[in-house]
Amino acid sequence: MNIFNRLTPRYITLIFSFMTILLLFTQNPIDNTVDSFDDSIFQVSCSCKSCVMGFMDDDWFIYRYDPSITPLLNRKNSVLRRDTYRWWRGLQPSMFRINYTEVVDQMFSLFPDKEHYSDAGPDRCRTCAVVGNSANLLGSHYGSLIDFHDVVIRINKGPTKGYERDVGSKTTHRILYPESAMDLDNSTHLVLFPFKIRDMQWLISTFTTRHITRTYTRVKPSIKADENKVMVLHPAFIKYVYEKWLLKHGRYPSTGFITIIFAMHICDQVNVFGFGASSTGTWHHYFDRTRTHYKGGPHGGDFENKTIHQLQQRNKISIYKGYR
């Protein structure tokens, strides 16, 4: 008779249990802990005191932040996936039929066709100030603190003249689109946020024929800016912000929110100014009385604010709230 036939089920269970325990204890405990992590997450990501990428040990952040995404468009990275193209074309639908590939080609025969900001590394410390347009900047005296950053990103029409004490005077990058365009000086990068393909056409027109005077509203046919400093946000980046950072809240992300995520991809340290209501609860610009908080608009305002708050809580950005 075979020996196994003689063993009762009780003995078989006992033998298996013993073998399992033996296996567990003979394995090197270190194999189960430290070595199973990817070493690269513990590498120093920049030389600032605190870095956006930090130790990449925060699951909430790791789930959202994609270090491989390219924020800015160039000819080489311009091909869009079919779903991205469809989503982007639906943001601000227009009646104009425009060929994306031709427009990209025209853009990058005029403007720098480069791979921007691919220089991240342990020796870099690029500090960035993102300056929103909230009235909470008034009376803040943040001007010199803002100007102290390597990169100062301003948004839309936010002026500096007359507000230097509170908002500073340096602008290295200005985020705009046709409906919010203004003249820039020669030291400022124009960063187009294209919410529609017509915006790209407008950009070309403003430096050449100046024939585009309308999108969904009247727009400036030309602006002053250095064409060698023009950059264009990648349409896929807008979708990335919407899906990964906003989990599809709202219809598409606001300019200010995209700008913060953009800064987190091109900078090592991000400080945010001029976002949110003033202490009296009002949502105005620092430079006019336009109300800026619209419930029911295309953007998921509350979710954006919660996400910005999370980023601060997790030490990925710092928010300067102003004094008023």
* Contacting positions for ligand C5P (CB under 6 A): 132-135, 155-156, 254-256, 275-276, 283-285, 292
231: nearest Cα among 194, 268, 264: 194
Alpha helices in the chain (DSSP H): 3-6, 9-26, 29-32, 59-64, 82-89, 100-110, 143-147, 164-167, 197-207, 235-240, 255-266, 301-313
Amino acid at 177: Y
156 is in an annotated binding site: yes
2 is in an annotated binding site: no
191: nearest Cα among 240, 153, 236: 153
* Closest residue to ligand C5P: CB criterion: 256
Q: Catalytic residue among 265, 284, 299, 320, which?
A: 299
Could you tell me the smallest distance in angstroms from the CB atom of residue 173 to ligand C5P?
A: 14
271 is in an annotated binding site: no
155: nearest Cα among 243, 81, 254, 248: 254
Q: Which is nearer to ligand C5P, 108 or 287 (CB)?
A: 287
Q: Which is nearer to ligand C5P, 78 or 136 (CB)?
A: 136
DSSP character for 232? E
Q: Which is nearer to ligand C5P, 107 or 137 (CB)?
A: 137
16 class by beta-carbon count within 10 Å (0-12 exposed, 13-18 middle, 19+ buried): exposed
Could you tell me the smallest distance in angstroms from the CB atom of residue 94 to ligand C5P?
A: 20
Could you tell me the smallest distance in angstroms from the CB atom of residue 71 to ligand C5P?
A: 17
77: three-class secondary structure by DSSP: coil
- Residue 183, φ and ψ in degrees, nearest 5: -70, 145
100 is in an annotated binding site: no
Could you tell me the smallest distance in angstroms from the CB atom of residue 292 to ligand C5P?
A: 4
Residue 221 to residues 192, 255, 264, 286, Cα–Cα distance (Å): 15, 22, 32, 26
Q: Which is nearer to ligand C5P, 99 or 290 (CB)?
A: 290
Q: Catalytic residue among 65, 240, 242, 252, which?
A: 252
Could you tell me the smallest distance in angstroms from the CB atom of residue 47 to ligand C5P?
A: 29
Residue 88 to residues 100, 193, 245, Cα–Cα distance (Å): 11, 12, 16
Q: Which two tokens stand for residue 36?
A: 């199973």
216 is in an annotated binding site: yes
Q: Which two tokens stand for residue 296?
A: 């029911």
Q: Is 299 a catalytic residue?
A: yes
Q: Is 286 a catalytic residue?
A: no
Q: Which is nearer to ligand C5P, 124 or 293 (CB)?
A: 293
Strands 173-176 and 230-232: unpaired
Q: Which residues are annotated as a binding site?
A: 92, 133, 156, 216, 252, 256, 276, 285, 299
- The set of catalytic residues is 252, 299
Q: Which residues are annotated as a binding site for substrate?
A: 92, 133, 156, 216, 252, 256, 276, 285, 299
